[in-house]
Chain A
Amino acid sequence: VDCSLYSPGQLNTFFSKKTFVRCVMVSTYTSLVLFFIPWAAMQDSVRGDGKDVADYQSFALSTQTSLMIVVSAQMFLDTFYWTAINQFFLWGSIAAYLAITFTFFSNGLFFVFTSSFPFIGTARNSLKQPNVWLTMFLTCLLCVLPTVAFRFLHINFLEKIRKFTRFQKYKAREEGQPAPAPYRPPPRRVSTRRSSYAFSHSQGYGDLVTSRKFLRLKRRPSLFGRNQSPLVENQPQHYRTITEEAEESQT
């Protein structure tokens, strides 16, 4: 049975604070790179024939294309199995972006819907310039390479580094003291077999439900007197407690 679908929940990899902070840091870094590299490269730049390339529409196009490529590269890194379907959709999304961009910037759409497509000619004029391509290339690689490096180190070496440091500690202690007792997790009252229900990543509310807190009647001043409340007419409810023994006998 392939249990890899349960591992993100068990290991709490997606909804933890650590993951969120890491995501925010990566996003901030990527956003800053995506804007400021084209901004700095575009200062006072012109085309190879002296004409304008530092205009608003070319800047938008180069930033937008860099963003598309960075997002696609991130998807490439996250795809573990490259089947024919994956290839089609991943390369297809880049091709679709290019097709749509060139369509929006084409003469035909401009003639039909003049005021809606003012970007006409931008792709033709700016994407022929080597400095625009070099800027986009630099931006994309600067966004993607840190992720690649981090992932490489993490996947290949995290376990080894941990084992190595633990081995070093063990060796250091070996001279003076006897070997430490093997690590045993503290005995817990909750069953270790977690359900695959919504709260697989945390303990859930089993403790709360079984703690019998619901049965304790609190002395609160009531709105109606005891003889006036409509609930007085009802029979008191009987609660069925769910004990530890009953749960373990089911599993």
Chain B
Amino acid sequence: MVKEEQEESSNRPDNTAFTQQRLPAWQPILSASIVIPMFLLIGAAFIGVGVALFITSRDIQLQELDYTGDDSEHPCFKCRTNTEKCTCSMTFSIPTLFKGPVFFYYGLTNYFQNQRKYGASKDDNQLYGDLDYFTNPSTDCDPYTRDSKNMPIVPCGALANSMFNDSFSLSHTVNGVQKIVPLDGKGIAWWTDYNIKYRNPTLNSVFFSGTKKPTNWPKPIYELDTTDVYNNGFINQDFLVWMRRAALPDFRKLYRRITHDDYADGLPAGNYTLTIAYNYPVHSFNGKKKVVLSNVSWMGGKNDFLGIAYIVVGSMCVVMSVVMLIVYARFKFAEDV
């Protein structure tokens, strides 16, 4: 008898809180006094935030200029079929002071940078300056890995090959005289892209000797900006901005900032002329090109959706809390009957 008891007790689990499932626990209960005030509070907070977002978004100024030239009356219509370098100018006017700092974006529509095969077609090792990948680019870049003579392409891949190459200049008409608005192209890409993700190999053109430029580029990568060595090669700001794939088919990318001299406070009201070096073809896929001038706020660019969504969800929460309160009152008193 004693032996059986000892055998039993060796298999018996310990009598601790953990093994006997007696741990102290908190049990949240969805009671009326918690849920109804919670909904009301959330609703009120959301409406407040929504109103703030909506007002902020409303105050942001935005000007879009489509320069694809689809319309035959458009000044850039002649550039559509022209395969050589073509320049066109558009005039526009700004009705009131466009508060600074003003940001100059280029926008593309119907352009799917988020397509998987296209977006994955690049070699991160090459872009980091690893010379082994200069002579032997990764096969992710196919068919833009090597050119027709089997020379490796640097930077390889479809994403780099399709880099946007229109350039713009803006001038302000003051008393009949065209005054150039200075555009600042420094620091338009992410700090991490410029300093960490993309690196040039130590000496520029020497290591590019066995390689070729991408097929659709007019100049090789080490001639993107010959005036500034910190903006040349893989760390060129426009190149970095292009390589940051957009999530949606209608996107805009930062081109320049208007922060210098007379225009530091913004663009005064008046007539302006936009001169475009029209190189990038978008007609084959019904895309459109445009220039967007915008100022920003703490919540970013102009987007009414978030403000409206917050107001709508906040009102629904308030309505829901009122409904729950009615149900609670009705059936609480009904139970006493």
Which A residues are closer than 8 A to B by beta carbons? 37, 39-60, 80-86, 107, 110, 114-115, 118, 120-121, 124-125, 129-131, 134-135, 138, 141-142, 145, 148-149, 151-153, 155-157, 160-161, 163-164, 167
Find out whether the CB atom of A41 lies under 8 angstroms from the CB atom of B303. yes
Find out whether the CB atom of B331 lies under 8 angstroms from the CB atom of A54. no
CB distance from B309 to the nearest CB of A (A): 6
Roughly how many angstroms separate A85 CA and B22 CA in the complex, as a whole number? 12
Roughly how many angstroms separate A43 CA and B301 CA in the complex, as a whole number? 9
CB distance from A1 to the nearest CB of B (A): 15
CB distance from A135 to the nearest CB of B (A): 7
Which B residues are closer than 8 A to A by beta carbons? 23-28, 30-32, 35, 39, 42, 46, 49, 53, 101, 103, 113-114, 119, 123-125, 128, 130, 138, 140, 188-193, 196-197, 241, 244-248, 250-254, 257, 294, 296-303, 305-306, 309-310, 313, 317, 320, 324, 327-328, 331, 334-335, 337
Q: In the complex where A56-B114, A57-B245, A115-B125 touch, is A48 in contact with B299 (Cβ < 8 A)?
A: yes
Q: In the complex where A125-B192, A164-B331 touch, is A43 in contact with B250 (Cβ < 8 A)?
A: yes
Partner pick for B197 among A80, A83, A120, A152, CB 8 A cutoff:
A120
Interface-centre pick from B27, B49, B300, B302 (highest chain A CB count, 10 A): B300
Find out whether the CB atom of A141 lies under 8 angstroms from the CB atom of B245. no
Find out whether the CB atom of B247 lies under 8 angstroms from the CB atom of A55. yes
Find out whether the CB atom of A40 lies under 8 angstroms from the CB atom of B305. yes
Partner pick for A164 among B119, B188, B334, CB 8 A cutoff:
B334
Return chain A residues, CB-CB under 8 Å to B335.
Answer: 160, 163-164
Partner pick for B113 among A42, A50, A56, CB 8 A cutoff:
A56
Roughly how many angstroms separate A34 CA and B252 CA in the complex, as a whole number? 23
CB distance from B289 to the nearest CB of A (A): 15
Roughly how many angstroms separate A57 CA and B49 CA in the complex, as a whole number? 26
Q: In the complex where A37-B309, A56-B245, A148-B35 touch, is A51 in contact with B101 (Cβ < 8 A)?
A: no
Return chain A residues, CB-CB under 8 Å to B337.
Answer: 167
Partner pick for A43 among B26, B189, B248, B297, CB 8 A cutoff:
B248
Q: In the complex where A82-B25, A107-B196 touch, is A51 in contact with B306 (Cβ < 8 A)?
A: no
Partner pick for A156 among B31, B42, B191, B192, CB 8 A cutoff:
B31
Partner pick for A50 among B23, B103, B196, B245, CB 8 A cutoff:
B103
CB distance from B28 to the nearest CB of A (A): 7
Find out whether the CB atom of B23 lies under 8 angstroms from the CB atom of A41. no
Return chain A residues, CB-CB under 8 Å to B103.
Answer: 46, 50
Roughly how many angstroms separate A21 CA and B87 CA in the complex, as a whole number? 60
Closest to B28 in A: A82
Find out whether the CB atom of B188 lies under 8 angstroms from the CB atom of A114. no
Return chain A residues, CB-CB under 8 Å to B247.
Answer: 42, 54-56, 58-60
Return chain A residues, CB-CB under 8 Å to B190.
Answer: 51-52, 121, 125
Return chain A residues, CB-CB under 8 Å to B125.
Answer: 114-115
Find out whether the CB atom of B253 lies under 8 angstroms from the CB atom of A52. yes
CB distance from B196 to the nearest CB of A (A): 6
Find out whether the CB atom of B30 lies under 8 angstroms from the CB atom of A148. yes
Roughly how many angstroms separate A108 CA and B335 CA in the complex, as a whole number? 64
Find out whether the CB atom of A131 lies under 8 angstroms from the CB atom of B300. yes
Find out whether the CB atom of A135 lies under 8 angstroms from the CB atom of B299. no
Closest to B302 in A: A44
CB distance from B172 to the nearest CB of A (A): 21
Roughly how many angstroms separate A37 CA and B192 CA in the complex, as a whole number? 27
Find out whether the CB atom of B196 lies under 8 angstroms from the CB atom of A153. no
Closest to A52 in B: B244
Find out whether the CB atom of B101 lies under 8 angstroms from the CB atom of A50. yes
CB distance from B336 to the nearest CB of A (A): 11
CB distance from A47 to the nearest CB of B (A): 6
CB distance from A127 to the nearest CB of B (A): 13
Closest to B251 in A: A54
Q: In the complex where A114-B130, A156-B30 touch, is A138 in contact with B301 (Cβ < 8 A)?
A: no
Roughly how many angstroms separate A47 CA and B187 CA in the complex, as a whole number? 13
Find out whether the CB atom of B254 lies under 8 angstroms from the CB atom of A83. no
Return chain A residues, CB-CB under 8 Å to B25.
Answer: 81-83, 86
Find out whether the CB atom of B324 lies under 8 angstroms from the CB atom of A110. no
CB distance from A191 to the nearest CB of B (A): 32
